[in-house]
Amino acid sequence: MKLLTKTSRNLLGYACVVLLISIPVFYFIIEQLYYQDVDDALRLKKKELIIRTRRLRNEHDIRLWLGMDPEVRMSPLPASGVIKDTIYPKLYVDTLDQELEPYRELRTTLAINNQTYLVIIRRSLVESEDLIVGIAEAQAILLILLFGGWIIINRRTSKKIWQPFEQIIAWLKKYEMGKDTLTGIPSSGIDEFDTLNGVVSDLIEKNHGIFIQQKNFIENASHEMQTPLAILQSKLDLLVVSEGLTAEQARYLQSQYEAIERLNHLNSSLLLLSQIENHQFDEISAVSVDLLIKKILSHLEEVIKEKAINVNTTFHTNKVLNGNPMLLEICFSNLISNAINHVPENGIIEIFLDDSMLQIRNSGAPLGFSEEKLFTRFGKNKASKYGVGLGLAIVRQITDLMKMTVAYAYADGAHQFTVRF
């Protein structure tokens, strides 16, 4: 989840809680304020009655006056009947609409011509409820617009504020060590992001320097190793053809010769791995996989005949890959050479190709080590007499670089390597 989304969700949740709480609370406050105003009006009405009833002389005057004011009712009380002023809500049936309507009533007593009367003064709340509901709805709409606008403005502002950070991330995703320079990270004008830009630039610059040093060291070391190895090999060639060489001496020279060849192979393989990791193979072109497999098999034809290997090829498609031709040839050549080296004499190698994968199977005994070490550098318990233990590690590096996958399985007495495109 993105930071902006998480922040917006938190703010939206807070706004919803505030709305759900504030609307009923606001309605309750407005209602209480209106009730207080109605109660004050009822008390004022009582004071008005006290003044006006002083002019009433008899029962006839009282009934006549009550007929003119339907909101007031009076009834005689015993002389000792005195009650405390009370205000309370009550419902009455509307004779026109036949519906219950809410009222507020004030119950009190008045003394008229030395007679105590029970007085009930009432006031309708129908209009007040409509008014309160209208005010609450208006307030709810206002709050919704306020919080909605706040969330929208906050989201747009946050997007603008975080835009430099997104640009830094996008630039880092496209950055390739050894290819890109430090240009491309814009200045945001925000101190925190400018500080981040500076830290990222310094880190990349340091890593770039280390990368260049490592690259130069590997290239120089490989070049410097070639010279003494070439001298040793030439000296051994002279010793091999020299006169008076005994069989034992020849055997020693042969073992030294093989050791030098392994060193040459090891040096070339390590240099190739370094070049692959440093993305130094930029050339991209269309490569026909079936034609490439046939080419590799033709180069290894003598070894295949020497071990009397039966190679069966099944090509269901003329698969074409876009990649570096040299690396693809090295990858598939290493897999086929590995199968040839480890298949027993008179064994079988099967090569299957379709639009989704290349599969190479060879008969042979199970591995003598963990499958997890198969594609690691020098992962085997000991190096094979056919190589230095880097061939499959190179295959893994190439497949990773070209967005392919390679997998191994052993089933039915056969080793199976599958490269999925």
Residue-wise pLDDT tens digits, 138-185: 777 877 887 778 778 777 777 777 777 777 787 777 777 666 555 556
- What pLDDT is recorded for position 288? 94
Tokens 């079988």 sit on residue:
348
Q: What does residue 389 show for φ and ψ, rounded to 5 degrees?
A: 85, 20
- What pLDDT is recorded for position 386? 47
- Convert the pLDDT of each residue in 116-149 to its tens digit: 888 888 888 766 667 667 777 777 787 788 777 8
Lowest mean pLDDT of 145-154, 194-203, 212-221, 226-235, name the range: 212-221
The answer to whether residue 18 scores a pLDDT higher than 50 is yes
Residues 372/381, Cβ–Cβ less than 8 Å: no
> Looking at residue 376, what DSSP letter applies?
S
Measure the CA–CA gap between 192 and 162, rounded to whole angstroms. Answer: 11
Residues 343/349, Cβ–Cβ less than 8 Å: yes
Which of 45, 99, 37 is CA-nearest to residue 72? Answer: 45
Beta bridge partners of 101: 92
> Looking at residue 118, what DSSP letter applies?
E
Residues 351/316, Cβ–Cβ less than 8 Å: no
Beta bridge partners of 124: 103
The answer to whether residue 294 scores a pLDDT higher than 60 is yes
Q: Compare 133 and 50 and report the one with higher pLDDT.
A: 50
Lowest mean pLDDT of 29-33, 287-291, 342-346, 379-383, name the range: 379-383
First to last CA, the chain: 31
Q: Which residue type is seen at 175?
A: Y
Measure the CA–CA gap between 172 and 247, rounded to whole angstroms. Answer: 63
What sign does the dihedral 122-126-128-129 (CA atoms) show? positive
- Helix/strand/coil percent split, the chain, to 5: 55, 20, 25
Q: Three-state secondary structure along 400-413?
A: HHCCCEEEEEEECC
Give me the DSSP letters along 275-317: HHHTT-----EEEEHHHHHHHHHHHTHHHHHHTT-EEEEEE-S
Measure the CA–CA gap between 19 and 309, rounded to whole angstroms. Answer: 80
The answer to whether residue 315 scores a pLDDT higher than 90 is yes
Lowest mean pLDDT of 68-82, 166-180, 191-205, 375-389, name the range: 375-389
Q: Compare 147 and 89 and report the one with higher pLDDT.
A: 89
Q: To the nearest whole number, what is the mean pLDDT of the chain? A: 79
SS3 category, 120? strand
For 388-406, give one letter per residue: b (16+ CB within 10 A) or e: bbbbbbbbbbbbebbebeb
Lowest mean pLDDT of 140-144, 217-221, 342-346, 349-353, name the range: 217-221
Over range 30-36, report the average pLDDT.
Answer: 83
Q: Compare 367 and 158 and report the one with higher pLDDT.
A: 367
Over range 237-251, report the average pLDDT.
Answer: 76
